[in-house]
Amino acid sequence: MVAASDLWHMRRGVVPSHNSRMLKTLLAIHVAGGSIALASMLLPLFTKKGGSIHRKAGWVFVGGMTIVSLTAFILAGTRALTDPSPQGRQAGVFLFYVALLTGAGVSAGIRVLRAKTRTAAHRHWWDVGVAVALTAGSLATLAYGLAMRQTLFAAFSIIGIVSGASQLAYWLRPPTHHMHWWFQHMGSMLGSCIAATTAFLVVNAGRLGVDTFSLAVWLSPTVVGVPTIALWTRYYQQKFGPARQARATVANLA
């Protein structure tokens, strides 16, 4: 996703002074991770849930998105601190937040599988800490966007506030459904798919003659994806039905 910030500068004829060989290498790794994630994300969506292909392709997607998030933290953080232009520093701040949003979603999607048998509140420092960091980072991005009069920053921060609050509620409350982990896993991973799709659109927006940082480019995957997640969740809620059937499903997938 940080590649979009390079597009921002390239369109203005500015070459960032901090664009060293190491950062170029990190950017190449970042793009490779994003490509892997984008190429692998459809298989888990349309193959048998819990099956071999679903799990293997899912781990490939997680690996790609992890690479994207980790490299984005370094690239965006460096840009936010050292870029000579105000626009570049703002881009760095925003893309650092996007990396946090993406990483938190992938983390939650995997971690819920490790705690799917829980019957009480879950207070592991990592899970709660990531949710708190996402919520706090989203609120900070909202404040920053309002202060800088950046509509995109403010609008996109709402996604993180809702996601972070939802994760906190999920971890800190006892489960109310035997398949609680299924719904949380599905929502988190689909959210990560939305992030991968958004990155693809942002990087390629210029080729289509669309402004890289327009609201339509950044928010259209979310506008389409969030209702899809809601409908899919509703479908599985009806499919699993009563607790007895849910327990049988858990046994088959374990």
What value, to the nearest 5°, has the Cα angle with vertex 5 and ends 162 and 221? 40
The residue among 193, 142, 132, 139 whose CA lies nearest residue 164 is 132
> pLDDT tens for residues 55-87?
999 999 999 999 999 999 999 999 899 888 888
Instruction: Give the dihedral of Cα atoms 230, 234, 235, 238; nearest 10 deg.
Output: 170
Confidence (pLDDT) at 16: 45
Residue 117 to residue 15: CA distance in whole angstroms? 51
The pair of structure tokens assigned to 63 is 């690996």
Put simply, whether the predicted model's pTM sits higher than 0.85 gets the answer no
Residue 166 to residue 108: CA distance in whole angstroms? 11
Worst-scoring range by mean pLDDT, 58-62, 85-89, 184-188, 245-249? 245-249
Measured in whole angstroms, the distance separating CA 63 from the mean position of its chain's CA atoms is: 13
What stretches of the chain show up as alpha helix (H) in DSSP? 3-10, 21-40, 42-46, 52-82, 86-114, 125-148, 151-172, 180-205, 215-240, 243-253
Confidence (pLDDT) at 64: 96
Using only C-alpha atoms, what is the Rg of the chain?
A: 19
Confidence (pLDDT) at 91: 86
> pLDDT tens for residues 211-223?
877 888 888 999 9
Q: Is the pLDDT of residue 47 over 80?
A: yes
Give the number of other Cβ atoms within 10 Å of residue 232's Cβ: 15
Angle between helices 21-40 and 3-10 (to 10 degrees): 120
> pLDDT tens for residues 131-180?
999 999 999 999 999 999 988 899 889 999 999 999 999 999 999 888 99
Confidence (pLDDT) at 200: 84
- pLDDT band for position 240 (50/70/90)? confident
